[in-house]
Amino acid sequence: MARKKEKELIHKPDMLVTAFESVSLYIRDNRRQCVYGLVALLIIVAAVASYIVYANHQAQKVQYKLTQGITAWETYEQTRAAGEIDKAEDIFQKIASGASGKPRYISKLYLANINMARGKRDEALKLYQDVSRNSSNKTLTYLADNAIKTLEKK
């Protein structure tokens, strides 16, 4: 009885072979549609890959600008050179208006610090509140909240 079932299983066509034959027949019968589908798939893959490369390049540019702004701010804190604070403010303004996500809110925090250094308390408070309300990063929100508490005590 077991041998009979084994013979039946051996004589049944393999699922993988059957699927391969079906696909081969479909491709042979619909060659033009398959070529168009393959070309469309390749175009989509190329577009997605290009977008990923472009987005990565843009993120690197923003990170580089952010580093330049932080360096200018630190130089100002050490030397109190007016040119450095202007340079830092310009860089952070561009990032805050053009970037999104974490770099945007980091820039706004630095802009608030620059406003505090220039004595513009109300503008700094608005920037801290913006970061506190809108940033999804807990660290940035914590820093902004602490700055707001400090400003409200004064």
- Per-run averaged pLDDT (10 residues), the chain, 154 residues: 64 80 91 94 97 95 96 93 92 92 94 93 94 92 92 81
What is the number of other CB atoms lying within 10 angstroms of the CB of residue 111? 25
64-153 CATH fold: 1.25.40
Helix (H, G, I), strand (E, B) or coil at 84: helix
**CA distances (Å), origin 87, targets 21, 63, 70, 81:** 68, 16, 10, 10
Q: How far apart are CA 146 and CA 154, in angstroms?
A: 13
| Domain residue extents for the chain | 64-153
Q: Which two tokens stand for residue 5?
A: 């079932």
* pTM recorded for the entire structure: 0.72
Residues 9-43: tens digit of each pLDDT: 666 677 888 888 999 999 999 999 999 999 999 99
